[in-house]
Amino acid sequence: MLSRLIALVAVGAGLVTAASSGCPVFDADMNLYVLGGASDYVFGAQDAWSSASAKTLSAAGKRPPFNGSKAPRCYLSQFNNAIYVLGADSANPTGIYILNVATKTWSLQAVDAAGIDTTDQVEILDHDTNVFYALSKGGFWFVNFHDQKDAISSALAWTDMGTKPAFDTSGYKATMGIASNHVHMFGTPGSQPGEASIFVIHYAFPQAQLQLYPSVGGKSNFPVAHGQAPSLFRDGPEQTVIAFIPDDGSATYLVDTKANKTLPLAGPTDKSSSIFTASTSAVVQLTATGKIFFLPVDQADIAGTAANSGAAWKTLATLPGASTTTPTSGNTTSTTGTPRPGTSSSSSGSGSTDSTGDESQSGTGSDDGTGSAGRLTTSAVLAFFAFFVALF
Ligand SMILES: *[C@@H]1O[C@H](CO)[C@@H](O)[C@H](O)[C@H]1NC(C)=O
Ligand SMILES: *[C@@H]1O[C@H](CO)[C@@H](O)[C@H](O)[C@H]1NC(C)=O
Ligand SMILES: *[C@@H]1O[C@H](CO)[C@@H](O)[C@H](O)[C@H]1NC(C)=O
């Protein structure tokens, strides 16, 4: 009995760690990674996902401890084939870890907060300039990563741009996506469904008028709500399409910022707390229980209905060590941000016997998390954890 109790406590403690670490993210060749927890995993490219299995990523250097209080955020720097990880070290909340994909080496870039509030910061990585833009304390900030594939010895620093959004930010938990060299903010106060608030990067200019992306076929458009907004990548140039998934998981909206159209598609079938990211041809979901799903997307004709009609979420894989049980309650209604997946006992995985899964999140950002991908909310994670505690 005592040993059983100890085992349960150990599992519970592991969950806390797992639940606060990890993010899904792609490299420049569109191989999927889940970074965080005890091990990082690679799932390969989309043409291999029908029988995907997790391969442990073996990398040298200074791997993040993945022990932040919220989910880490992973971003692909496509031109540099580097992955930047924020919020992955509780002892260094501003430091940004870099995975050099080609050399498989981790390093830690020192970054001075210089006044930014890492607890309310929501950032996004601009594709073309490789500059992070953040909303914090009601205004815009930036830090330039130039062409970094590895950390440099001098510290970088966040810079206050002295510019504020064109709306009242009080109470606004940012959901940010990048496209057409514009930061798109969703769910902003005063907006209507289908409208985004825009920050024009090259002129550091918060556009006063909202941008409307009418819904294809006149279907209901994306709601004024918090969510996650990973941008799809392209083979080289600027990103133009954002996938917006509201926290309730009710739909997936593909926002084509060139055609000025929104295509509403099915929401993820698994509505539990999740982190989303995107490649050139898929939106990927990592749930808090370590399940991975994807929605295939054809970017060639987002505004047309043919290419993506019938697009459906499919199972991709489950993280090694992830639980096979399904939490009945976790969902993504959070007000803040990002989800993180956790995992539980080691009973089922397909991987090695002692790894216990983990989780993830990525990208682009929304909310407190985003990077490029989504994230779950703290409340959802706590609910998830409470669920397991209740089980015990
Ligand atoms: C997180 O990891 C860092 C680096 O290893 C360590 O200094 C810090 O104490 C850890 N924080 C927690 C809460 O374990
Ligand atoms: C989309 O909207 C922007 C801003 O209103 C406009 O400049 C652009 O020409 C529009 N594009 C199309 C294809 O209508
Ligand atoms: C998610 O949880 C919230 C709060 O418990 C609840 O109000 C909402 O109906 C739930 N949504 C779904 C889709 O289960």
Which tens digits make up the pLDDT trace of 338-349? 333 433 333 333
Does the beta carbon of 352 sit less than 6 angstroms from any atom of ligand 1? no
Ligand 3 centroid to Cα of residue 331, in Å, is: 6
pLDDT value at 252 more than 90: yes
pLDDT value at 364 more than 80: no
**Nearest residue (CA) to ligand 2, atom 12:** 259
Total tally of structural domains belonging to the chain: 1
Find out whether 129 and 97 touch, Cβ atoms under 8 Å. Answer: no
What mean pLDDT is reported for the chain?
Answer: 81
Predicted confidence at residue 70, as pLDDT, reads 86
Distance between CA atoms of 20 and 67, rounded to whole angstroms?
Answer: 7
Predicted confidence at residue 324, as pLDDT, reads 53
Predicted confidence at residue 147, as pLDDT, reads 97
Ligand 3: residue of 226, 272, 274, 331 to mutate (most ligand atoms within 8 A of CB) is 331
Distance between CA atoms of 83 and 101, rounded to whole angstroms?
Answer: 7
Predicted confidence at residue 246, as pLDDT, reads 98
Does the beta carbon of 89 sit less than 6 angstroms from any atom of ligand 1? yes
**Nearest residue (CA) to ligand 3, atom 3:** 333
Give the pLDDT band (50/70/90) at residue 231. very high
Q: Count CA atoms within 13 Å of residue 74 on its CB side.
A: 32
Distance between CA atoms of 313 and 66, rounded to whole angstroms?
Answer: 28
Q: What CATH number is given to the structural domain containing 79? A: 2.120.10.80
Ligand 2 centroid to Cα of residue 260, in Å, is: 6
Relative to the CA of 92, which ligand 1 atom is closest? 3
Does the beta carbon of 93 sit less than 6 angstroms from any atom of ligand 1? no
Q: What is the pLDDT of residues 26-75, one digit of tens each?
A: 999 999 999 998 999 999 999 999 888 899 999 999 999 999 888 899 99
Relative to the CA of 65, which ligand 1 atom is closest? 2
Ligand 2 centroid to Cα of residue 53, in Å, is: 43
Q: Is residue 291 within a helix (H) or strand (E), and if so which, with residue range? A: strand 291-296
Predicted confidence at residue 310, as pLDDT, reads 83
Predicted confidence at residue 21, as pLDDT, reads 58
Angle in degrees, 0-180, between the axes of helices 378-391 and 2-19, rounded to the nearest 10: 170
Give the pLDDT band (50/70/90) at residue 203. confident
pLDDT value at 292 more than 90: yes
Residues of the chain by 3-state class (helix, strand, coil), percent to 5: 15, 30, 55
Predicted confidence at residue 209, as pLDDT, reads 96
134's CB contacts (< 8 A; 6+ apart) are: 116, 121, 122, 123, 124, 140, 141, 142, 143, 158
Find out whether 252 and 314 touch, Cβ atoms under 8 Å. Answer: no
Relative to the CA of 333, which ligand 3 atom is closest? 1
Does the beta carbon of 271 sit less than 6 angstroms from any atom of ligand 3? yes
Q: For the chain, what percent of residues have pLDDT higher than 70?
A: 77
Give the pLDDT band (50/70/90) at residue 322. confident
Number of H helices, E strands in the chain: 2, 28
Q: What is the pLDDT of residues 182-202, one digit of tens each?
A: 999 999 999 999 999 999 998
Predicted confidence at residue 200, as pLDDT, reads 95
How far separated are the first and last CA of the chain, in Å rounded? Answer: 13
Predicted confidence at residue 301, as pLDDT, reads 84
Cα–Cα distances in angstroms (integers) from residue 331 to residues 336, 369, 375, in the given order: 13, 16, 12
Predicted confidence at residue 369, as pLDDT, reads 35
108's CB contacts (< 8 A; 6+ apart) are: 62, 64, 89, 92, 95, 96, 97, 98, 151
Give the pLDDT band (50/70/90) at residue 279. very high
Strand 41-44 relative to strand 32-35, pairing: antiparallel
Within 10 Å of residue 163's Cβ, how many Cβ atoms? Answer: 14
Distance between CA atoms of 206 and 182, rounded to whole angstroms?
Answer: 10
Domain range enclosing 286: 2-391
Q: What is the pLDDT of residues 7-33, one digit of tens each?
A: 333 333 333 333 335 899 999 999 999
Q: What is the pLDDT of residues 142-186, one digit of tens each?
A: 999 999 999 999 999 999 999 999 999 999 999 999 999 999 999
Distance between CA atoms of 101 and 98, rounded to whole angstroms?
Answer: 9
Predicted confidence at residue 323, as pLDDT, reads 59
Q: Average the pLDDT over 219-224 and give the result.
A: 95
pLDDT value at 230 more than 70: yes
pTM score, two decimals?
Answer: 0.80
Distance between CA atoms of 332 and 327, rounded to whole angstroms?
Answer: 13
Find out whether 96 and 84 touch, Cβ atoms under 8 Å. Answer: yes
Ligand 3 centroid to Cα of residue 385, in Å, is: 16
